[in-house]
A = this chain, B = another copy of it.
């Protein structure tokens, strides 16, 4: 045990504050497709993703779904709801066989309150998420499918000025939903990029010989 200590949020926590939290936490296993929590249900825990994959989904009345975020192993999620005494704003659904650690919010908050420094970090963390969402908002509203996919791929690139081979973090349908597209559209955009010589696609692996060229290409659409 436990990679939890190495998350950005907990890395600064002294061990003796994490221990009681862990004592009250429990691992949960989900099969692919299972719902961890549903949008609107009261939030009593947040989670650490140990193995597998979780999609955070915002659904509309029409049944259309948008993936707000694809959670990867070693990520914490849903911790930001704690301070509203709140409800989950999204649905969390497993996209593969998945194990999460369920951590009770009340103890977490109580611990935070004894340590202004930790609070400060938590604020920074929320602020980061805020920026992330504002960026998402921009992507969705003023950018084309090409631009959205290009930004997304470029974000996955470790460095932007040399060739990269990246791995899509989930099946293409999920990536499409993450980008606010249909799987069909994603497929077409990928093939346009391929035909333009900007990327190579092999299953979930995408090679980008020149990321900057990709950015330029997407800029003009």
Min distance, Cβ A101 to any Cβ of chain B, angstroms:
21
- Most chain B Cβ neighbours within 10 Å, of A59, A61, A128, A219: A61
A122 / chain B contacts, CB cutoff of 8 Å: 123
Q: Which of A127-184 contact B (CB under 8 A)?
A: 127-131, 133-138, 140-143, 147, 180
Residue A12 lies at the interface, judged by CB distance under 8 Å to chain B: no
Q: A149–B120 Cα gap in the complex (Å)?
A: 37
Does the CB pair A127–B80 fall under 8 Å? yes
Min distance, Cβ A103 to any Cβ of chain B, angstroms:
17
Q: Which residues of A contact B (CB under 8 A)?
A: 58-62, 64-66, 68, 80-84, 86, 89-90, 113, 116, 119-120, 122-124, 126-131, 133-138, 140-143, 147, 180, 219
Q: Which 6 A-B pairs have the closest CB atoms?
A: A60-B142, A58-B138, A64-B142, A133-B133, A83-B123, A66-B141
